[in-house]
Structure 1
């Protein structure tokens, strides 16, 4: 029976298929789910802008802080658990991989439930900390409290779908992401325009958009669809496994913290340096960072998430040549694709901004002008995310953490202060380009150094 349960390494495509085609396939299939999420984000902006008005959007802005918290914990468990599982599968230890996944499932569930309870009980002070003003406090509390009820499902869903990629169920994972996006955006439209639920509807929307992914947990129950199984006995947590999950996943927890710092600094500087037009510049940054760059980032994530299971498995299998190829292919493909996307956005900056900004001519003009500057080097800036997830997959936590913070905090924040104070608002936009360029150069240098290390192991 044991022999039947242990998959032969040669039977797994992660161990046998050519790396270039494997990277393309995993990226493209992951992209299917991401495409649905991109469409959802675009429609979300349109529905909320037209349906909730300025008051509702102000509330949603605060609710998004809770969403960042959700993504932080989702990143933690969604990278830590599959990295361990992938390494064990690559080493041929299916039993150990199953136990690590089961432990990870219960750890994720327990932590997210505790987080949800805290958020539901202390909603008002939390919203005040997030920046809610008295005039929007009541509706904001309603939205955040509603979202907190669904929070455990959103965090578990992110972890489960990440493990599905390592378990070579990328199509099932992509289908879940697609279905959830469709259901969530339909709900948002109905709750906004038909049911008139306001921020409560928005809170449910944010919960549904990722929480539906948790249905993937049923794939790992019963033993018929996967060798990785969730077992009730693993409710008794193994602190060694839990510690390893936190150790590996922590860099990606920091990504959301870094994003929060980045957004706060940018908005503060734009408001200060922009003078009477400060709010206009902040609005332009919201369009660029909240929609345009967010979509570009999600495209970049396709390469990161596609690389993760390939790198984790081959690192565990000590297949150094395949590991080396996976890193170089992911970087090469990502630069090419994002460069094409950047050129398209640069050329269509005005209509793209008009799509999100509506009929405000001043906002469209400022947004388009800034977009043409900011978009120049993003094909390099987002390499840090892919290189970080590679180092996380091979359990180089320090380097992974460094790369996670590289673009948003280490490079962008100091440069925004420096160039902003020297050149005003224009300096903020230029700072982001310089930060992307520096981030890309450092990321490529780290990747080349890793290639040298792997070459020595092959010698």
Structure 2
């Protein structure tokens, strides 16, 4: 069976497992990039080095935002075009996505490296953390292209119906990073610079793997010379869909910067480091949900394009249930073993462990609700309703969260910083539920109209 055709014919449960499990494994392995760096840096360099990496993280998020603008935008459109049986248009999207990744990434690298110190100070770097942040980010941002090809074009591999290859891309890079990190940090004595170089080398191998897949003739979609020229309507389609995750990531960078400034004010550099550790830990539970999103997105996109609305609804229901279950398991683990989780990164700094354990318990109190919000809001991304997806993304990370970060810390001090996230999570989940309820009613109406039209058609055929 054609890899894209299976999206409209195989059982939903089997498809979701087939697409989501590789994506979940891949995303979990991908989470090791930052986590492994922070573990080795925390144990091999120290607490302030972890804080330095955390200070530079908003810049990594900005690069990731552009990667998602192209990667998720193009992969969503590829899913829809394949569902509409328009392979030529899907290949045009593939070619344009590669060119966009190259151009945008080079601009980010040049500007990022040129103004690195000024950018890091805006993000909250202190005199103590700036040297660590600089040494790490000059390599990470300099290799922006490698990250964006490895992530962006890899999404198209999944969209064309080959999730195992997409999973392998992530696993290759993360496993290699885990091997190289201790070599560069402990054997070569390169500290945070060594961790950054290990990451960039790993991403280079992942990018080479992705390009080899498309150039070797194994892919459904092919790179064609005529598609490597930017086409305005194609770029517009990619950006119109990709703008939602793009906006979400930019908002995340803004919020992370605000978090850093509030954490420094009410808890000092160690609080920034604690938040960096917390973010690494919670990514282990967020990544499976993101994996479900990546797994169900091509299924929903294809069937929505093919007007098989019953399959769209069933896919969403199973995905939301799985997301909430994963989030609930994460909630139980975090609330039960916070000190043990934080101490993985640094066993010696008891103050860092105390700040981190207290913070993660408060910050992740609404984790099961986040599971619903993340999976449900991605539905609008999958069917191409970018405006709604943007609003729901921004509601959680900007519209609701930033006011909480401004209002709560002056009242509750450091606890106010930890409380801002879960309060905004609950409110944004309510908003997402309202929009999802409305769209499900519209989908039901479309499905009923489709059935009536089929009954009329069969009736007319029988009469004739």
TM-score, normalised relative to structure 2: 0.88
Between 183-192 and 31-40, report the one with greater CA deviation: 31-40
Q: Work out the CA distance in 2 between the residues paired with 1:107 and 1:420.
A: 41
1:195 to 188, 192, 203: 188
Q: Work out the CA distance in 1 between the residues paired with 2:141 and 2:417.
A: 35
Report which structure shows greater RCO (CA 8 Å, sep ≥6): 2
User: Which residue of 2 is the match for residue 3 of structure 1?
Assistant: none
User: Which residue of 1 is the match for residue 7 of structure 2?
Assistant: 14
Between 55-64 and 111-120, report the one with greater CA deviation: 55-64
1:279 CA displacement: 4.3
1:169 CA displacement: 1.1
SS in 2 for 1:227: coil
Distance 1:353 1:124, change over 3 A: closer
| Matching of residues 101-120 of structure 1 within 5 Å | 101-120=94-113
Between 62-71 and 335-344, report the one with greater CA deviation: 62-71
1:171 CA displacement: 0.5
The answer to whether structure 1 residue 217 and structure 2 residue 211 are counterparts is: yes
2:276 to 281, 286, 291: 286
Distance 1:76 1:181, change over 3 A: same
Q: Work out the CA distance in 2 between the residues paired with 1:374 and 1:118.
A: 34
Q: Work out the CA distance in 2 between the residues paired with 1:345 and 1:141.
A: 32
User: Which residue of 1 is the match for residue 303 of structure 2?
Assistant: 314
The answer to whether structure 1 residue 167 and structure 2 residue 166 are counterparts is: no
The answer to whether structure 1 residue 156 and structure 2 residue 145 are counterparts is: no
Distance 1:57 1:367, change over 3 A: closer
User: Which residue of 2 is the match for residue 355 of structure 1?
Assistant: 344
Structure 1 segments unaligned to the other structure (5+ residues)? 1-6
Q: Work out the CA distance in 2 between the residues paired with 1:362 and 1:122.
A: 33
The answer to whether structure 1 residue 78 and structure 2 residue 107 are counterparts is: no
Q: Work out the CA distance in 2 between the residues paired with 1:109 and 1:77.
A: 11
1:111 CA displacement: 1.8
1:125 CA displacement: 4.2
User: Which residue of 2 is the match for residue 36 of structure 1?
Assistant: 29
Q: Work out the CA distance in 1 between the residues paired with 2:93 and 2:261.
A: 43
The answer to whether structure 1 residue 186 and structure 2 residue 179 are counterparts is: yes
Distance 1:127 1:426, change over 3 A: closer
Question: Contact conserved, 2:123 with 2:260, CA < 8 A, in 1?
Answer: no
The answer to whether structure 1 residue 88 and structure 2 residue 81 are counterparts is: yes
Question: Contact conserved, 2:83 with 2:306, CA < 8 A, in 1?
Answer: yes
Distance 1:384 1:119, change over 3 A: same
Task: Report the aligned-residue RMSD.
Answer: 2.5
User: Which residue of 1 is the match for residue 326 of structure 2?
Assistant: 337
User: Which residue of 2 is the match for residue 416 of structure 1?
Assistant: 405
The answer to whether structure 1 residue 100 and structure 2 residue 90 are counterparts is: no
Distance 1:27 1:87, change over 3 A: same
User: Which residue of 2 is the match for residue 431 of structure 1?
Assistant: 420
1:123 CA displacement: 4.1
Distance 1:137 1:239, change over 3 A: same
User: Which residue of 2 is the match for residue 255 of structure 1?
Assistant: 248
User: Which residue of 1 is the match for residue 429 of structure 2?
Assistant: 440
Deviations 1:381-431 (A, max 9, x none): 244333333212211111110122122212222123333333333333333
The answer to whether structure 1 residue 301 and structure 2 residue 290 are counterparts is: yes
1:238 CA displacement: 0.6
The answer to whether structure 1 residue 389 and structure 2 residue 378 are counterparts is: yes
Distance 1:228 1:161, change over 3 A: same
Deviations 1:232-281 (A, max 9, x none): 22232111101111111111112222112222333333443x3xx54454
User: Which residue of 1 is the match for residue 455 of structure 2?
Assistant: none
Number of matched pairs: 447
1:136 CA displacement: 6.3
Question: Contact conserved, 2:28 with 2:284, CA < 8 A, in 1?
Answer: no
Structure 2 segments unaligned to the other structure (5+ residues)? 449-464
Between 74-83 and 375-384, report the one with greater CA deviation: 375-384
Q: Work out the CA distance in 1 between the residues paired with 2:387 and 2:404.
A: 23
User: Which residue of 1 is the match for residue 259 of structure 2?
Assistant: 266
1:301 CA displacement: 0.8
Q: Work out the CA distance in 2 between the residues paired with 1:169 and 1:82.
A: 12
1:230 to 219, 223, 228: 223
TM-score, normalised relative to structure 1: 0.89
User: Which residue of 2 is the match for residue 65 of structure 1?
Assistant: 58
1:142 CA displacement: 4.9
Between 345-354 and 161-170, report the one with greater CA deviation: 345-354
Question: Contact conserved, 1:151 with 1:211, CA < 8 A, in 2?
Answer: no
Q: Work out the CA distance in 2 between the residues paired with 1:170 and 1:211.
A: 20
SS in 2 for 1:229: coil
Q: Work out the CA distance in 1 between the residues paired with 2:276 and 2:134.
A: 22
